[in-house]
Chains A and B, each alone.
Chain A
């Protein structure tokens, strides 16, 4: 029975074979031959340079010469130290009686270069609080936040910052630079789109680079340019709506730009946010503790509802005169960083004495909101005093505590501009006013700002000192910029 069944199938097959059209048979034949060929052909790897003999390989290895690990740096680079007997390039600050009057390279100067806006670096209460924390906790935390590095001081500081800024939650980092550089890649991943201002600071640029997202730069403070980019993106979205539903979009701006001293137009940004459905990340390192009636930053300055900003990031190294940084916002946004912020999870937490100092500084800020008005008055005072210096123009708003002085007419070469400004700075340093040039890494910046002198305003500077410094700069400009 079985044999006949099989025979019957065989007969069917032979019949089908005879009945098939010719082209069908030819095609099948070719396919079978091709498969046989592939089965027996030799496989080869594209990478292997198997045509080299052992001797040739050894020769290649011998011949290869790497570049030196680091290229040589010219001896008169401004960041290097020199023999103390000859000219010192880098300012060495030592033996501070206070932070307002510092000793630079052996000369006592008035400090117009440190970002100590509220003068809290010398504050006795802050120091005392830090000392009592030192007695209790020692210096280091010996672990990241996840592994017994969370101290009650950290929890208290986060709580206080959240309450001060009137947000739900805050998270602190142990290093100011790492704050925004870890926050951006925690939310924005490959494929997402970030619209960022051209004048964004270096920390933001590194955060964007780490995120691997598409970066679209818009001209500094130019809302029309931003709107144009957003509209273009909208057109793109309509071509591919499925993809558009999963791509996240962010705008990253600074409250007060450290590179230009301008303020960002926050109300327009919020309007654009709701029209084009983009989230806003605001970097407030310069404006925290400076703008607003209570020092809450640019949101208070403009009266914008703080919940409209998705994330506010700031460092505690300017107005709060401590070390570290924080991000604040709604819990929905901030809590994510506790597991995905690299600078938070994989790094030791902030030493408790530095956190305690920040808490005390916050206390002082809350008790005495007058200092913000005083600071802003001093800023406009300095801004006025520096106007009209021949050859130098003031870059920055009248209420910004970190101004820039730029050459009105550049010589055309960045090096010679830098040298000219350096001569002005040295002139002032020799006459007891400490200034500094704004430092950038020329090759690393996306949009390198022009060479400038940084002038920083603090509440501790008296009117006489401000006038003295302004007239000194005027003198220097007249003497040098001929």
Chain B
């Protein structure tokens, strides 16, 4: 379990509210990672222990033949091949995941807006197979999709440019950016992204995950050092591995750990040969999606300048979602975007589209145009998707003449603060910073994970629950994504259900007393 890193959050007085506006000094007071009482840990381990024992028992029954094996089998002609999967690799999947599998991959049949329609899915054999009954559950409140600014919409007027782009360009591109796939719409999009972020130049790619895994290898290679946060996303880890550079991990958001690694790296040089490192790249994210924590950007920029390292900032969840006008963590902390060497982000979350971008100095982007794996080998971004990003960005920037965009940014901030405050008042343990629209609510015990998700669905609220291996084994959680499209009524309905369920399932672990503070305006 984590150390108590509870800051003096809960005793903010009204005087402080006057001068704070999210600057570095007071931001540290806005994060909390409360630890649950000891009995919770004990019960969690006990729960896992019981399920594991049952798992072994069931495996035994399956091996002996007393229980039907539902898993797909290898072909008879290939039975003497080396087995494709080792039995122990799948133990967790077979015996733990299968029990609660109905809480994931729920199919929907409408727009992923603040409310959506789920397709009813039942299992006749305890989650081994599912079948769709054909019925739809209408108007389920959506607390799981990454729809921060509400751009997942099907308003005909707003989507007219996208429809025009479809008619004009078609759906695909059928070529790479370096060959015949460089369309004028891509140029337009890249100029807009650069001006949105305050960077010199930008380049866009068709998939957010691939933006990381294909461009980090282009920037660093053998002989370079990557200092990566403990909780970085899989795409960053994959990109770092594929690059061939040495990777060292520092503790999550811990500046002492990072500084220690930087000092050691510069003094010690490369392992064994002690040659100096060619480059040091610090890789962090804006908002960490499983924790809800925000990166300590001012401190990292200070460290980077002192030790002459480069900074790669992945703003997948924070672009559009934080900052006074939605420009991300650089705006939240009042920093100059050119302090960050490589600004990376995705368009999937706040812009309701797909794809990713990298922005920075012109030399950086020119280099990526020539040497990025994606530019040479992967198909360019689809034109209607590019048009959607352009219209969403223009909306946020106010270039379309309306104030819809900025209103949504403010509404998101208000919704986030309200939701978090009320959850804390109700007595739940939630992680993360006060400004982050990603709200993880801790459930801890494996049994409660399944029960929570199913009970919320019965109340027509769709939530996302995550457990091991995406989180530490004892910290299973439910993760809410607040959207600017959620109305106060929807949030109240969710909070009311959470209150009921919290009492019924015993989820109110928080032991803090004073949780009142005022909304910042």
Contact = CB atoms under 8 A, between A and B. Distances in A.
Interface of A: 47, 49, 52, 57, 60-61, 64-73, 77-81, 90-96, 99, 102, 104, 111, 113-116, 121-122, 126-127, 130-131, 134-143, 145-152, 154-155, 174-178, 181, 187, 201-203, 206, 209-210, 244-249, 274, 277, 279, 307, 315, 317-318, 320-323, 330-333, 335-336, 338-339, 342-343, 346-348, 350-351, 353-354, 357, 434, 436-441, 444, 454
Given A64-B308, A151-B107, A357-B171, 9 more contacts: A61-B267, A65-B308, A92-B187, A134-B166, A134-B384, A137-B110, A142-B146, A322-B171, A439-B377
Q: Which bucket holds chain B's interface residue count?
A: 35 or more
Contacts of B97: 339
B163 A131 contact: yes
Contact of A116 (B154, B168, B174, B354): B174
B209 A92 contact: no
A202 B377 contact: yes
B196 interface: no
A111 B179 CA distance: 12
Contact of B167 (A127, A206, A247, A357): A127
B279 interface: yes
Contacts of B367: 70-73
Contacts of B110: 136-137
Closest 4 CB pairs of A and B: A94-B184, A175-B207, A70-B367, A347-B209
Most buried by B among A66, A71, A353, A438: A66
Contacts of A203: 377-378
B248 to A, nearest CB: 12
7 contacts: A66-B278, A122-B170, A127-B167, A142-B352, A143-B146, A155-B107, A332-B84
B145 interface: yes
Contacts of B370: 73, 77, 79-80
Given A114-B175, A347-B209, A121 B341 contact: no
A143 B85 CA distance: 29
Interface of B: 72-75, 77-78, 80-86, 93, 97, 104-113, 116, 119, 142, 144-147, 151-154, 156, 159, 162-163, 166-185, 187, 206-210, 213-214, 217, 219, 233-235, 238, 241-242, 263-264, 266-268, 276-280, 307-310, 341-342, 346-349, 351-354, 363-364, 366-371, 373-379, 382, 384-385, 388, 462, 464
Nearest to B153: A138
Contact of B180 (A73, A147, A206, A436): A436
A59 to B, nearest CB: 10
Nearest to B233: A346
Most buried by A among B151, B154, B264: B154
B371 to A, nearest CB: 6
A150 B145 CA distance: 11
A345 B460 CA distance: 25
A346 to B, nearest CB: 5
Contact of B178 (A274, A320, A439): A439
B377 A201 contact: yes
Contacts of A155: 107
Contact of A92 (B74, B86, B183, B213): B183
A441 B83 CA distance: 36
Given A138-B154, A151-B108, A70 B172 contact: no
Nearest to A113: B180
B180 A178 contact: no
Contacts of B171: 121, 126-127, 130, 321-323, 353-354, 357
Contacts of A102: 180
Contact of A95 (B116, B184, B349): B184
Contacts of A331: 72
Nearest to A278: B81
B310 A69 contact: yes
Contacts of A68: 363
B315 to A, nearest CB: 15
A309 B82 CA distance: 16
A438 B178 CA distance: 9
A140 B388 contact: yes
Contacts of A174: 207, 354
Nearest to B265: A64
Contact of A346 (B104, B159, B172, B234): B234
Nearest to A188: B84
A423 B176 CA distance: 21
Nearest to A192: B82
Nearest to B369: A79
A310 to B, nearest CB: 8
Contact of B238 (A52, A57, A210): A210
A70 B368 CA distance: 9
A143 B112 contact: yes
A114 B279 contact: no
Contact of A66 (B78, B106, B111, B277): B277
Contacts of A61: 263, 266-267, 307
A148 B185 CA distance: 30
A116 B209 CA distance: 26
A333 B71 CA distance: 11
A196 B74 CA distance: 23
Contacts of B234: 342, 346
Contacts of B379: 175-177, 315, 317, 323
B84 A279 contact: yes
Contacts of A47: 264, 268
A338 B108 CA distance: 18
Nearest to B156: A135
A277 B80 contact: yes
A93 B107 contact: no
Nearest to A145: B105
A140 B351 CA distance: 8
Nearest to B184: A94
Nearest to B341: A69
A348 B354 contact: yes
A134 B162 contact: yes
Given A60-B266, A210-B242, A140 B104 contact: no
A176 B373 CA distance: 13
A115 B174 contact: yes
A178 B144 contact: no
Contacts of A342: 209, 234-235, 238
